[in-house]
């Protein structure tokens, strides 16, 4: 049985690439174009895993959404993978401090995405 996965990413082409990659597995996939929409979807869908872009337009970024999701007991502590083009150590530390389980640096390969998701299960 696959996971319920929420992709929160403001670039439609990146969302599409992630969706196409994950559709090979038996996952239920939901999408949001910004963190505000992502929070609403997270509360409705209760995903097992969120893939969050760090930098997004709107009232909060991926780090803010990560903090809210990880601190909401109703959401049952989903895994969070942050997607970012910024791989400086302080960026990674900020993501982990926000509660992210791991990081994927853009651009990433479909294989790397699947590997990262599978590593969270083990």
Model pLDDT, residue 80: 98
For 4-108, which CATH superfamily applies?
Answer: Response regulator (3.40.50.2300)
| Domain edges within the chain | 4-108
Q: Which of the listed ranges 1-10, 21-30, 34-43 does the model predict with the highest average pLDDT?
A: 34-43
Listed range (24-28, 45-49, 51-55, 71-75) with the worst mean pLDDT: 24-28
CA distance 98 to 114: 23
Comparing 22-26, 37-41, 78-82, which segment has the lowest mean pLDDT?
22-26
Place of tokens 């994927």: 104
Question: Does residue 107 have a cis peptide bond before it, meaning omega lies within 30 degrees of 0?
Answer: yes
Question: Cα(16)–Cα(94) distance, rounded to whole angstroms?
Answer: 27
Which pLDDT score is estimated for 108?
Answer: 93
| pLDDT band at residue 87 using 50, 70 and 90 as cut-offs | confident
Nearest to 49 by CA among 119, 112, 117, 122: 117
122 pLDDT higher than 70 = no
According to the model, what pLDDT value does residue 25 have?
Answer: 85
- % of residues, the chain, pLDDT over 70: 98
């Amino acid at each position: 049985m696959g996971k319920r996965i929420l992709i929160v990413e403001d670039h439609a082409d990146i969302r599409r690439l992630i969706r196409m990659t994950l559709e090979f597995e038996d996952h239920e996939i939901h999408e949001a174009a910004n963190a505000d929409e992502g929070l609403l979807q997270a509360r409705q869908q209760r995903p097992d895993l969120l893939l969050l872009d760090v930098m997004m337009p709107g009232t909060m970024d991926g780090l803010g959404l990560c903090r809210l999701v990880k601190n909401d007991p109703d959401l049952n502590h989903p895994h969070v993978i942050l997607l970012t083009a910024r791989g400086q150590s302080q960026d990674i530390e900020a993501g982990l401090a926000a509660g992210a389980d791991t990081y994927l640096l853009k651009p990433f390969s479909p294989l790397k995405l699947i590997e990262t998701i599978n590593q969270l299960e083990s």
